[in-house]
Amino acid sequence: MNYVSPRYILLMCLLALHSNSYDSREKIHQKPLIYRIIDAIAQLNIIHRWSRSDSSQDGYKDQPIATALYQQIARQAYADLHIDLIHQIPVKQLPAKAQTELAQSDDHIVLGLVRRNSLYINEQALNKITYGYKRGTMYHECVHAKYADPFMKQNNVKNISSLAASCITHKVLSSVINITSDTLIQPHVDITEDEYKKIRFLYSHAISIIIAQLAGFFTRKYIDKTYHNYRERRADVESLYALQCSRCIEEMCGIRVNVNNLQYKKPCNLYTSGSSYLSRIEKLHIAYDLKMQNKLCEHHTLKTV
């Protein structure tokens, strides 16, 4: 008769209870408030209709539709990312000339990009990489489509921010100049009040307009960079979690996650960094999170059976 120790049974029950008590860290990754507001605006139907209204600047718009595999992955990505039908754009093949037009360097391969009316993918390059890398790339680009990023980044966010900075600077500075002038200059000048007010109006507005223009210019530059970094980081975070597969992320990173490695055990907010794309270690933090929840896609579930 085989005898199993009660202590052994108790230990196994505790281990099972501990393994089932793991909570996802996805909610830890909190976006900055200003970007949460911008993202909410970007998902409005009117923004997507406005974005689709002009395709004149898209030189790739006549490209053929992507092949069946990538259409299937895109449909799944749209569903997993909860992207409404009105916000979905067709997936097309990226032309060969795009590599020379868009590549930042000779060793940089353009895998995909999103324009206002279409999502383009480099099928020749994607065909050579793992399935998990294919999914990750497609999901990343679909996040850009979800938030109408080509439209939002082109002018709107930085233009509105620049205008707001200019108006606030002009209003505050002109008020400060007026108050200072009334206190320090007016008592010592021998001119009528009407003449004084005309002169004060001219120099206060001249100075404040010049400085307001400079404030708007530097705000536009700053927002252009920081908003770009945020968009790419957001696309990485949301797409990797939407994959719901630790193995897909491991394939993208080219390394397996060791769940006993202490560097993955400490939670971190992936939106706190000012850089753009997630580093490999940051991606593996998400892989660790999904691995602890035993998350695998259908493709990798079948491979483990």
- Tell me the C-alpha distance between 75 and 88, whole Å: 9
- The set of long-range contacts for 155-163, using a CB threshold of 8 Å and a minimum separation of 24, is 157/38, 157/223, 157/227, 158/219, 158/220, 158/223, 158/224, 158/227, 159/220, 161/219, 161/220, 161/223, 162/216, 162/217, 162/219, 162/220, 162/223, 163/216
Length of the chain, please?
A: 305
pLDDT tens string for the chain (305 positions)? Answer: 444 565 655 555 544 444 445 678 888 888 988 889 889 988 999 988 888 887 777 888 899 999 999 999 999 999 999 999 989 999 999 998 887 787 666 567 899 999 999 999 999 999 999 999 999 999 999 999 999 998 887 766 666 666 777 888 888 888 888 888 888 888 888 788 888 888 888 888 888 888 888 887 777 777 778 888 999 999 999 999 999 999 999 999 999 998 888 888 888 889 887 778 999 999 999 999 999 999 999 999 987 76
Among candidate residues 131, 146, 161, the one where a domain is terminated:
146
Q: The domain spanning residue 101 has which CATH number?
A: 3.30.2010
> What total of structural domains would you count in the chain?
2
Same domain, 92 and 170: no
Could you tell me the pTM of the whole model? 0.79
Residue 8 lies in a domain: no
What is the residue range of 52's domain?
Answer: 45-146
Residue 60 lies in a domain: yes
Same domain, 254 and 195: yes
Among candidate residues 146, 173, 193, the one where a domain is terminated:
146
Same domain, 229 and 250: yes
Same domain, 73 and 32: no
Residue 38 lies in a domain: yes
Among candidate residues 90, 120, 146, the one where a domain is terminated:
146
Q: Give, in order, the Cα–Cα distances in Å from 77 to each of 61, 141, 234, 244, 285.
A: 22, 10, 15, 11, 21
